[in-house]
Chain A
Amino acid sequence: MSTKAATPGLFDPAIIRRAAIDAFGKLDPRKLARNPVIFVTEMVSVVVTLLFIRDVVTQNGVASFSGQIAAWLWFTVLFANFAEAVAEGRGKAQADALRKTRSDAHAKRLIDPNNRSGMQDVIEGVSALDLRLGDIVLVEAGDLVPGDGEIIEGVASVNESAITGESAPVIREAGGDRSAVTGGTTVLSDWIKVKITAAPGSTFIDRMIALVEGAERQKTPNELALSILLSGLTIIFLIVCVTLWPLARYSGTMLSVTVLIALLVCLIPTTIGGLLSAIGIAGMDRLIRFNVIATSGRAVEAAGDVDTLLLDKTGTITFGNRMADEFIPVGNVAEHALAEAVMLASLADETPEGRSIVALAKSRYGLAAPADDADARIVPFSAHTRISGVDLPGRSLRKGAVDSILAQSSVPKDHLPEDFKRAIERISRTGGTPLAVSENGFLLGLVHLKDIVKPDIKDRFAALRAMGIKTVMVTGDNPLTAAAIASEAGVDDFIAQATPEDKLTYIRKEQQGGRLIAMCGDGTNDAPALAQADVGVAMQTGTQAAREAGNMVDLDSDPTKLIEIVAIGKQLLMTRGSLTTFSIANDVAKYFAIIPALFVVTYPELEAINIMKLASPQSAILSAVIFNALIIIALIPLALKGVAYRPVGAAALLRRNLLIYGLGGILVPFVGIKLIDLAVSALHLA
C-alpha cells in the first residue's frame, strides 16, 4: 500500500464517481436497516412516491408538490448513502492496491524442516495459499515473503514498503525483537527460514485489507450509543407526527400525509444519521493515512478517552542516543584545546556519540577537521579496553570510560584533581555520562554525554496536560537519571529501572484508579503490558507477540505517534458530537418554517409565528425538506476531515464547539431555509 506515495485526495474524481454509483446500490432496504434514521426516511419516501402517483392519476392538483417532496426525500436517502460511499471509497482503493501483493506468491516449503538426513534442505514449490500454520519456508533474495511468520534461521534485509510505504530496507533476523516478517514484503538480500504463524486469509495483509475496506466494520460502543439515541429521537418524532393528525383534526385541520411525512423527515436527525457511519470510516481512514492500523474501531475511540500515556524514554522523549553536550577541561587545560583534542580523537568514530562530539566541536568552537590525516592511525573502540582514539605524530589522543582512561594515565587514583571529581559528580547527578579525554597519558578533561531531550517535546507534553492527559516516562535508567530527564522533558511521572512487570503493574494501578492508559511497545516482553493497556500500539518492527497483543500497529514504528493517535481518537468523537448537536439544533428552525404552514389555514392569525416570512405554506415545507437534504451534502467534507482539533482543555473545547455547532445549528437553517424559499418562489416551484 503506497500510503505515502499516492494517497487519493478526499474528493478524488474516481472515488466520487464510484461513490455516486454505490449510493444507489445502498438503497437496498436490507442494507439500510442498519441505519434506522435513513431506513425510516427511505420507507416514507416510498409512501410519498405512491401518494405522488395517486395525485397524478386523480389529478387533484397537488401532484407537483408531492412529486417534489418525494424527489427531495429520495435525495436525502441518496445523499446519506453517498456520504458513506465516499468514505468507503478511499479504503476500497487502498484495499485494491494491497490485494495485488497477496496470494499470487509462490512459497518454497521445506519438506523436512528438522533436516534429519543432514543433507541439503529439500524444497517443494507450493502456492502461498496452501501454507499451513507451522510450515517452514525458505525465502531468498528477490522472493516475496509468502505469509506472516517468525524467522527461525538467517538474517536478511527486507523491503517492507508494501505495508509501510517506506522504501528503505530493514534488517530482519532470527531471535530477538526483529524476528517477525510480514507476508507481501520482499527479501532484498541473503536468505531466511521462516516459520509460518498465520494461516492464509488471516495474515496481517488480509486483516489490513478487511480493515481499510470496512468489510468487518462493526459499530463501536460510542457509535452504538449514539445510534440508540438517534433511533429514540426518531421514535419520538414518529409519535409526534402520527398523533398530530388526530390532534389537528380536533381543530378542524385535515393534514395531508405528504405534509406530515415532510415534517417527520425534517425532525428526525437525518443529518447525523446520514453522516454517522461516514464519520466512523473516515476516522479509521485518518489513522491509516497516518500509517497506523487499528484492529478495531473500539481502539480508536478508546484513544480519545486516554488519560495516561506511557512513553518510552529512548526514541520518544530523547533522541535515541546520548550526545555530547559540553567539554569540561581540568586543571589549566584550555577548553579550546580539549575540544580540539577530543574532536581529533573522534573523527573516525562513526558511533552517534562520536559524531555528536565532532558536531559540538564544530558548532560551538568553530573547529574544522584537518584536511590532511594521512599520518593518523586510528585506534578503534574495543569492548575490552573501552577506549578509542587516534595516534598522530607525537600525539596519542584517547577518549573513553573514566576508569579506563585513568587506568592508563599518569594520574594517581587517590590524587584526582578536585575540579575533575566535582565535574564527574555533577554529570552523574544530572543523568549524564562522563567521558574522559587524555593526551599522551595526560588528563585533559571530560566530555559530558547526555540524553538530549527532543526540542519540541516539552511543549507537546504541556499541550497534553492541557487536554487532561498525564504523561509517564518509562526508562531503564536509575531513578536519579530518570528524575533529571523527567524534569527536563516535563513529564508528569516516570518509572525508573523499569522492567516489563513494572509497566504492567503501573498500568493496572492506573486502571484501578479509573484511568485509561495508552502505551507503545515492540518487544515480546512488552506483550502483557500492551494487552493490558487500553490502547496498545505495537511497532511494525516489533515481534509477532507484541503485534498481536496490541490493538494498533504503527507501520512507521515511531513511538512519538502515540500523541497523534490520541488526537485522532478525540477528533473522531468530537466530529460525531458536533454534528449531532448541529443536527438537533437545526430542528428549531424547521419547526418555525413548517408549523405555521400546517395550521395557518385553520388559524390565519398563526401567521404571526411565521418569523421567516416564507412565501407560502407549500414553499415553506418544500424549502425545509430541501434544506434538510442539502445540508447532508454540505457537511460531507466536515464529516470526512473531522472538526478542527486543538489541544486545549475540555471547557475551552466545549465552549468553542458549542458556539459553532450549537448556536450555528440553530441559526444556519433560518438563513438557509429563507434563501431556499426565495429560490423556490422565484422559480414558481411551489
Chain B
Amino acid sequence: MTFGGWIEIFLVLALVVGAAWPLGAFIAKVFDGQRSFLSPIAGPLERVFYRLSGVDPRKEQSWLCYALSMVVFSAVCFLTLYALQRFQNVLPFNPDGRDAIAPDLAFNTAISFITNANWQAYAGETTMSHFTQMAGLTTNNFLDTAIAMALALGLTRGLTRSETDTIGNFWVDMTRATLYVLLPFSILLALIFISLGIPQTLHGSFAATTLEGARQTIAIGPVASQEAIKLLGTNGGGFFDANSAHPFENPNAWSNLLECWSQLVLPVAFVFAFGRMVGDAREGRSLLTVMAFIFLISLTILYRAEANGNPLLTALGVESSAGNLEGKDVRFGQASAALFAVATTGTGTGAANATFDSMTPIGGLSPLFNLLLGCIAPGGVGTGLISILLLAVLTVFLAGLMVGRTPEYLGKKIEAREIKFVMLSLLLTPVLMLGFAAIAANLKISLDSLGNAGPHGFTEILYAYASTASDNGSAFAGLSANTPWFNTTTGIVMLLGRIASVIPIMAIAGSLAKKKKARPSAGTFPTHGLLFISLLLGVALIVTLLQFFPVVTLGPLAEHVLMEAGRTF
C-alpha cells in the first residue's frame, strides 16, 4: 500500500460524495414530480410517452400491480432481447457478419441484461452485432436500471406514506428514471468518454499489421455509449470481453478514475435521495455510513493482500515490492485495481479492470464477501438501497425489541407480515447460491469448466453463483462459463435472484404503506446515530457470516492457510 494509492482512492471517494449529494436532491425532486432544470426538455417527452402508451400518470398502483407491471415489463424485455440475439444475423448493423447466438447463450444473456446482473458468458466483440449491442444490450442497461430505481422508490414510498393502498405508478417512475436521470447523465458521460479516447462508431473491425508484422483484427464499435450506462447504471456488461481492462473501454488513468467514480455516484445519490424523501437526511446518512464502512474494510483487506504479494513467489526470489501484479493492468496499478474491484462488487456493476482469479486468496475473498453481503456497499442503483433497507428492517426487529417496544422503522411497526417477506427475500440467496454450488461442485460437466483444482476451483464455482444470485454479474474468471450447464443454471439463478425477490419486497412496501406512521418519541428506537450504524453493520456481517462461513472456509480461507503452509494445487 502506498500513500499515493490512498490519496487516489480518497480523491475518487470524495468526488463521489461531493457529486452524489446534489444529485440526490435532484433525484428526490424528480420522483416527487417537482419541476427541475431538465423539465423543459424531458417534460414534453415524458407526456408523449404517456399518451402513446396510454398510461395515466396520476393513477397509482397497489403493491401487487406495481410488482406485476415490473414482471410483465421484464418478460417483454426478455423476449425482445432473446429474439434480437437469435436473429442478429439477419438484422441490420452487423458489419462483421456475426452469426445468430446459440439458444442457451441467448437465454443466459437475455436474462443477464434484464436483471442488471450483466453476467457475460460471451465475448462481446466476437459474438454480438452492433445492433444487438446497441438496441439489445445497451437499451436494456437503461431499462433494467430504471426498473431497479422504480422498485426502490416503491419501497421508499411504503415507508413515507401512511394508511394508503398505493405505492406509486411503476410506468411513471420508470419513465422519469430514464428521461430525467439515466439518459441525460449517460449522454454527458459518453461524450466525456469519447473525448478520452473511447471509440463510438458503427464501423466494423479492421485489420492491422503489428510492428512484428503479425496480422491483427482490431474490433471497434459503439463503445462509449454502452460504457456510460454500463457504469452509471451499475450494469457492468462491457462491449469487450476484457471489460474495463480493454484499452478501448478504459484507455487511460483519467478514464479509469471516471469509471470508478461513475459506478459509485448514482447508488450513493440514491441513498441521499432516500434521506430527503423520508424527510430526515440523517436516516440516509446512517445507511450510507454503514455502506462506506463495509466498502473501506473490503478495500483495505484487498489492497493490503495484493500489495503484500504472494509469499510463495517472494520465497522463490521474485521481486515483490509491487505486490501481486498477476492479472492487473500496470497502467492502473494496485490502488486503482483494488478500488475498481471493490467498487464493482460493492455496487451491482460487476465490471472489471483486473482479474479476481489471479488475486491472492484473501484478495479474492474481498469481492466474494461483498457479493455474499448482497452488494450493499453501496449496492446497485436502487437495489443497494433496497438491500440495506431490508437489513435495516431486520436489525430494527432484532434489536428494537430490546428497548421494550414493538420494533418500528421510520415510524412503521415491523410485524409478522414484514418479517415474513424479509425472511423470504433473505432465504433466496442461500437457496440459490449454496444449492446450485452444491450441485455444480459434484457434477463432471461443471467441474470440467474449472480453471484450477483444490480450494481455488471451489471458489470459482462459489463466485459464479454468488455473482449471479446477487445479480452483480462480475466474473471471478478462471471458469469457462459458456457451457449449456452454466448458461442454464446461472440464467435461472439470475432470474430468480431478481424476480423472486420483487414480490416479497413490494409486499413489504404495500404492507408498510397501509400502516399508520407512529410519532417518534424518546422511547423510540433511534435509527440514526452511531449506535444504529454499528448495530446495522453488526447484523449485516453476522447474518452473512452465519450463512456462508462454512463455504468461505472451504474456499478462500482454506486456500489462504494452505498457501501460508506452502501447499498448492
Q: Which residue numbers of A lie inside 8 Å of B, CB to CB?
A: 221-222, 224-226, 228-229, 231-233, 235-237, 239-240, 243-251, 267, 301, 304-305, 307, 465-470, 513-516, 569-571, 573-574, 576-578, 580-581, 584-585, 587-588, 591, 595, 598-599, 603, 605-606, 608-609, 645, 649-651, 653-655, 657-658, 661-662
Contact = CB atoms under 8 A, between A and B. Distances in A.
A603 B562 contact: yes
A240 B434 contact: yes
Contacts of A609: 553, 557, 561
Contacts of B431: 239
Given A577-B399, A584-B398, A605-B564, A645 B404 contact: yes
Contacts, number: 211
B54 interface: no
Contact of A246 (B427, B442, B526, B535): B442
A588 to B, nearest CB: 7
Given A580-B401, A588-B545, A603-B561, A649 B523 contact: yes
B442 A249 contact: yes
A599 B555 CA distance: 12
B437 interface: yes
A654 B522 contact: no
Contacts of A649: 522-523
B455 A225 contact: no
Nearest to A587: B546
B455 A467 contact: no
B325 interface: no
A224 B416 contact: yes
Given A573-B401, A577-B398, A655-B531, A250 B538 contact: no
B359 interface: no
A596 to B, nearest CB: 8
Contact of A229 (B419, B430, B526, B531): B419
A239 B398 contact: no
12 contacts: A229-B423, A237-B546, A243-B434, A246-B439, A247-B554, A305-B406, A468-B521, A577-B403, A584-B542, A606-B557, A608-B561, A650-B524
B558 interface: yes
Given A577-B400, A584-B398, A603-B558, A251 B458 contact: yes
B516 interface: yes
A221 B401 contact: no
B318 to A, nearest CB: 23
Given A246-B438, A249-B442, A515-B518, A469 B558 contact: no
A513 B442 CA distance: 58
B281 to A, nearest CB: 19
A605 B561 contact: yes
Given A603-B558, A605-B562, A649-B522, A571 B404 contact: yes
Contacts of B402: 574, 577-578, 581, 653-654, 657-658, 661
A436 B475 CA distance: 94
A292 B7 CA distance: 65
A240 B418 CA distance: 24
Contacts of A467: 522-523
Which DSSP category, helix, strand, loop or mixed, fits chain B's interface?
A: helix
Interface residues on B, range: 35 or more
Contacts of B565: 605
Contact of B416 (A221, A573, A581): A221
B419 A650 contact: no
A236 B426 contact: yes
B457 to A, nearest CB: 8
B51 interface: no
Contacts of A608: 561
Contacts of B419: 225-226, 228-229, 232
A32 to B, nearest CB: 21
B400 A658 contact: no
Given A243-B434, A599-B554, A605-B565, A221 B399 contact: no
Interface string B412-451: 0011101110011011001100110111011000000000
B561 A606 contact: yes
B554 to A, nearest CB: 6
The residue among B521, B524, B525, B565 with the most chain A CB atoms within 10 A of its own CB is B521
B423 A468 contact: no
Contact of B406 (A222, A248, A465, A588): A222
Nearest to A595: B553
Nearest to B559: A603
Contacts of B438: 243, 245-247
B458 to A, nearest CB: 6
B201 interface: no
A650 B522 contact: yes
B398 A581 contact: yes
Contacts of A228: 416, 419-420, 423
B398 A580 contact: yes
B195 interface: no
In the A-B complex, the 5 residue pairs with the closest CB atoms: A577-B401, A468-B523, A570-B404, A232-B423, A468-B521
A221 B415 CA distance: 7
A245 B550 CA distance: 11
B517 interface: yes
A68 B414 CA distance: 41
Nearest to A229: B419
A248 B554 contact: yes
Contacts of A595: 549-550, 553
A606 B162 CA distance: 53
